[in-house]
Amino acid sequence: MLASVTHYIRSDVLKLLEDGSLLTHGAGQATRYAYAEAIVDVGRRDPRVVVLDVDVAKSLGTTAFAEAFPERAFNFGIAEQNMVAAAAGLATTGLIPFASGYAVFLTMRALDQVRNSIHYPRLNVKIASSHGGITPGPDGPTHQGQEDLSLMRAIANATVVAAADPLTTRLATSAAAAWEGPVYLSFTRDPVPYLYTDDYPFEIGKAVVVRDGLDATIVAVRDMVCQALVAAELLRTRGLSVRVVDCHTLKPLDAQTILSAAEETGAVVTAESNTIIGGLGSAVAEILVENYPVPMQRIGLRDTYAESGPYPDLLVKYGMSTAHIAAAVENVVERKRARA
């Protein structure tokens, strides 16, 4: 049996990975809440930080910031466009606004403001976006932010970050505050397991190899990193050594880490609960064909709307479960071997 070498993975998680119960028994937290906790600390350290809400402060937990710093919290009501453009105005005065809300409404209702008033003028606004991907299961498609990574990636001057667990979400929040210029942060509505140890070297733009492997690589983002880890463990029992890359920053993409993985493993699967069009899968496909074309397959929402239902059930029904990831890996490995 192959051994597994992982990096920055908590020891309790390793045990749960081995006995296959990480997704059912792992302790976790929705990353929206991790953000809401982190932004209070960030705000304490940096008085320039202000938090803007659009009547979903209670849903994200940013009410905690409003309680800690009432004069630095602004609830715009249900008016995403106004909040986003006002964030631009606040940023011109030297403040660092975190404009918080749901992915669907921030990246679609307010996209014109996001693009023309924040990214084109490169203003120092952070967009803190919950309900990314299909993590808001039971609410149904109108609340499932399945395109946020695709849409934000298409916007020039955007920096797009989607952390995989509560710890890295905290680190991402703090890194975003320190970053000069716009940053888009994508959070989960539903809990994801605590995955990482405190020494996780979070840096915007640097993907992290969290598991070694030589037969294939899974590049995953946000809520799909834990799924990728489970899939990799499953594949180990089937004799495949699979690398896992936590690609928390979609833009700027860490081309080096991904190209090394392509060169060293020769086969790539991407995993996201975003649509397979325009997000992580496309980002990786783009740099592979332009630099080192290898067999690749994308796991994601296959260009459809999902439906209401528990998030884990949706992953299964819509082709994003660990079994689907594992099958995709076997497929690319086969294609790689056929080419050799």
Partner 1 sequence: MTVDPGTMPSDAGSARAVVNGDLAPLTIAQLERMAGTIRCDIIEMICTAQAGHPGGSLSAADIVTALYFRVMRIDPRNPSWPDRDRFILSKGHACPVWYSALAERGYFDKRHLATLRRLDSILQGHPDMRKTPGIDMTAGSLGHGLSVGLGMALGGRLQGRDYHVWVVLGDGEVQEGSVWEAAMAAPRWNLGNLTAIVDCNRLQNDGYVQDIMPAGSLADKWRAFGWTAREIDGNDMAEVVRALEEARAGSTAPVRAGTMAPVCIIAHTVKGKGVSYMEDVAAWHGRAPCLEEAELALDEIRRACAG
Ligand X SMILES: Cc1ncc(C[n+]2csc(CCOP(=O)(O)OP(=O)(O)O)c2C)c(N)n1
Please report, as ranges, the residues that interact with a second copy according to CB under 8 A.
104-105, 107-109, 111-112, 114-116, 120, 141-142, 146-147, 150-151, 153-157, 268, 275-279, 281-286, 288-290, 293-298, 301, 303-305
Q: Count residues contacting ligand X (CB under 6 A)?
A: 5
In the numeric block, which tokens belong to residue 96? Answer: 């660092």
In the numeric block, which tokens belong to residue 334? Answer: 């086969």
- Interaction between residue 105 and ligand X (CB under 6 A): yes
* Shortest Å, Cβ 126 to a second copy: 20
Count how many residues are written for the chain: 340
Cα–Cα distance, 177 to 169 (Å, whole number): 12
| Kind of pairing between the strands at 208-211 and 242-246 | antiparallel
CA 93 to chain centre: 30
Helix (H) or strand (E) holding 201: none
CB 336 within 8 A of CB 294: yes
Q: Of 105 and 187, which CB lies nearer to ligand X in the complex structure?
A: 105
SS3 assignment, position 34: helix
Q: Of 107 and 227, which CB lies nearer to ligand X in the complex structure?
A: 107
In the numeric block, which tokens belong to residue 136? Answer: 């808001």
334 noted as active-site residue: no
Q: Of 34 and 161, which CB lies nearer to a second copy in the complex structure?
A: 161
* Shortest Å, Cβ 55 to ligand X: 4
- Interaction between residue 78 and ligand X (CB under 6 A): yes
Cα–Cα distance, 336 to 240 (Å, whole number): 13
Residues making contact with partner 1 (CB under 8 A): 50, 53, 55-59, 63, 71-72, 74-79, 81-95, 97, 104-105, 109, 112-113, 116-117, 120-122, 138-143, 307-310, 313-314, 317
Cα–Cα distance, 286 to 295 (Å, whole number): 13
Q: Of 150 and 322, which CB lies nearer to a second copy in the complex structure?
A: 150
Among partner 1, a second copy, ligand X, none, residue 289 binds (CB under 5-8 Å by kind) = a second copy
Which residues are catalytically annotated?
A: 80
